[in-house]
Structure 1
Amino acid sequence: MENASTSHLESRALVDAAVVAADAKLAEELVALDVSELLGVVDYFVIASGRNSRQVSTLVDSIEEATKAHTDRGPLRVEGVKDASWVLMDYGDVVVHVFLDETRRFYDLEHLWSGAPRVDLSQVLPRARNEKASGS
Structure 2
Amino acid sequence: MAEPQIADTEPNDDSDVQLAVLAARTADDKKATDILILEVGEVLAIAGYFVVCSASNPRLVRTVADEIEWTVKRELGRGPVRHEGRDQQQWILIDYGDVIVHVFHEEQREFYEIERLYLDVPKVDWER
Q: TM-score by structure 1 length?
A: 0.82
The aligned residue for residue 12 of structure 1 is 17
- CA drift of 1:85 comes to 0.5
Letter in 2 for 1:113: Y
Q: Which residue in 2 is equivalent to 1:132? A: none
> In the aligned structure 2, how far is the partner of 1:96 from the partner of 1:47?
6
The structure where strand makes up a greater share of residues is 2
2:74 to 69, 94, 108: 69
Correspondence for 2:65:
60
Report % sequence identity.
41
Unaligned runs of 5+ in 2: 1-12
Q: Secondary structure at the match of 2:43?
A: helix
CA distance, structure 2, for counterparts of residue 70 and residue 28 of structure 1 = 22
In structure 2, the partner of 1:81 is 86
Moved over 6 A (4+): none
Higher normalized contact order (CA 8 Å, seq sep 6+, divided by chain length): 2
CA RMSD of aligned residues (A): 1.1
Tell me, yes or no, if structure 1 residue 116 matches structure 2 residue 105.
no
| Counterpart residue type for residue 41 of structure 1 | I
- Ranges in structure 1 where 5+ consecutive residues have no aligned partner: 1-7, 124-136
Larger Rg: 1
In the other structure, the counterpart of 1:36 is 41
